[in-house]
């Protein structure tokens, strides 16, 4: 009997033993900086300042027009990139499935190339497309249509569109890959059943493919939200860390870096912390959706 007891007690410790490295690193390199950020947001600006200033950074942000602009731009940018990328990737995955099986891996790889490229390289390639006068977009699409050249990265009406185009260019192929993998995992039986019920291709797509792909689509959306709100992304590279003309392309993450560049660490941290409620809402949403799909 004592042997058996020992065994269960050891088994009780096993999960913690396995989790120990993860928990350790989670605390060291995520939780501590996170708490540090919250603390910093309550302290005066400047390097090595520790004077407690309460919520004054947050109060200042509430009246800061640039902060509001950045928040609005980030929402528009993230939402627009999801709206553009998800349907496009679904369509491309569908096309890839319809082409010759032998070409499929090569074509998928080609579409995915931008996602494998460092953002700074992408920004350089993209400047060629968006370049004021001689850029490809102007030369190939805008001018042949008899329209006036668009100065994509300077004209405040077009900066955000340009940024969305570059995210779409970067991520669509990657998301297509995930969706394709998901589609290939859907058991054939489902389609056969749908065909027996004489469902049209379109109805098969909406009633079999899309519901089955729900976990993939959730992943894609979460990935794009994280990339849009908090990564040092292509948008930053493309505008060189500025917000562009009239701040039309100012995103929250860009604003954080503009502030920390001038050692306004308190304000910079306050901006980051102010995004937390939104992200927590998303955490809750994800867990909720996960439970419903499971």
Partner 1 sequence: MSNCGKNWRGVLSLLLLGPFLLAVLVPFLWMVLGMFKTNTEFFQPMAKAFFPANYDWQNVVELLDGRWVPFWAVFANSLFVSLGQALGAVALSAAAGYAFARFAFYGKRLLFVLTVALILVPRQLFAVPLFSWVNELGLSDSLLGVMLPGVVTGLGVVYFTQVFRQVPREYFQVARVCGAAELRVFLTVLPLVWPALLSYGMIHFILAWHEHLIPMLVLTSETKQTLPLALAKLYDISQRTPQGVQMAASTFAVIPTAVLFALCHRKFKSSLSDMLVH
φ and ψ of 54, to 5 deg: 65, -140
Residues counted in the chain: 294
Q: Least distance from C-beta 253 to partner 1, angstroms?
A: 8
For partner 1, the closer CB: 10 or 203: 10
For partner 1, the closer CB: 62 or 283: 283
Q: Least distance from C-beta 151 to partner 1, angstroms?
A: 17
Q: Least distance from C-beta 67 to partner 1, angstroms?
A: 15
Cα three-residue angle 145-169-74, rounded to 5 degrees:
100
Maximum alpha-carbon separation in the chain:
88
Q: Least distance from C-beta 33 to partner 1, angstroms?
A: 4
For partner 1, the closer CB: 184 or 192: 184
Q: Least distance from C-beta 66 to partner 1, angstroms?
A: 18
Q: Least distance from C-beta 118 to partner 1, angstroms?
A: 5
For partner 1, the closer CB: 91 or 206: 91
For partner 1, the closer CB: 19 or 246: 19
Task: Round to whole Å and give the CA distance between 54 and 38.
Answer: 11
For partner 1, the closer CB: 76 or 108: 108
For partner 1, the closer CB: 94 or 207: 94
For partner 1, the closer CB: 1 or 17: 17
Q: Least distance from C-beta 185 to partner 1, angstroms?
A: 4
Of 166, 171, 173, nearest in space to 95 by CA: 173
What 3-state class would DSSP assign to 227? Answer: helix
Q: 157-191 burial by CB neighbour count: b if 16+ within 10 A, else e?
A: ebbbbbbbbbbbbbbbbbbbbbbbebbeeeeeeee
Q: Least distance from C-beta 98 to partner 1, angstroms?
A: 4
Q: Name the helix (H) or strand (E) containing 187.
A: none
Quote the radius of gyration of the chain (alpha carbons, Å).
Answer: 24
Cα three-residue angle 282-287-290, rounded to 5 degrees:
120
Q: Check residue 246 and report its DSSP letter.
A: G
Q: Helix, strand, coil: what percent of the chain each, to 5?
A: 75, 0, 25
Q: Which two tokens stand for residue 32?
A: 């501590």
């Amino acid at each position: 009997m004592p042997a058996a007891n020992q065994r269960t007690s050891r088994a009780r410790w096993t999960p913690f033993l396995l989790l120990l490295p993860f928990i350790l690193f989670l605390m060291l390199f995520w939780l501590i900086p996170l708490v540090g950020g919250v603390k910093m947001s309550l302290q005066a600006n400047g390097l090595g300042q520790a004077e407690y200033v309460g919520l004054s950074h947050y109060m200042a942000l509430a009246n800061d027009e640039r902060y509001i602009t950045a928040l609005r731009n980030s929402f528009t940018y993230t939402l627009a990139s999801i709206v553009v990328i998800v349907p496009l990737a679904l369509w491309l995955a569908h096309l890839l499935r319809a082409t010759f099986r032998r070409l499929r891996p090569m074509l998928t790889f080609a579409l995915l190339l931008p996602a494998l490229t460092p953002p700074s390289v992408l920004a350089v390639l993209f400047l060629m497309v968006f370049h004021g006068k001689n850029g490809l977009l102007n030369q190939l699409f805008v001018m042949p249509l008899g329209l006036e050249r668009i100065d994509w990265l300077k004209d405040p009406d077009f900066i955000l569109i340009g940024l969305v185009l570059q995210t779409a260019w970067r991520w669509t192929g990657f998301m297509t890959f995930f969706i394709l993998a998901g589609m290939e995992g859907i058991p054939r039986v489902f389609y056969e059943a749908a065909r027996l019920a004489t469902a049209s291709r379109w109805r098969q797509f909406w009633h079999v493919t899309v519901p089955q792909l729900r976990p993939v689509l959730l992943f894609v959306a979460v990935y794009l939200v994280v990339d849009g709100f908090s990564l040092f992304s292509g948008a930053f590279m493309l505008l060189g860390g500025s917000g562009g003309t009239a701040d039309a392309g100012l995103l929250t993450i860009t604003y954080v870096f503009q502030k920390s560049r001038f050692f306004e660490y308190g304000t910079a941290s306050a901006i980051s912390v102010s995004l937390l409620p939104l992200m927590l809402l998303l955490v809750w949403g994800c867990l909720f959706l996960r439970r419903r799909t499971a």
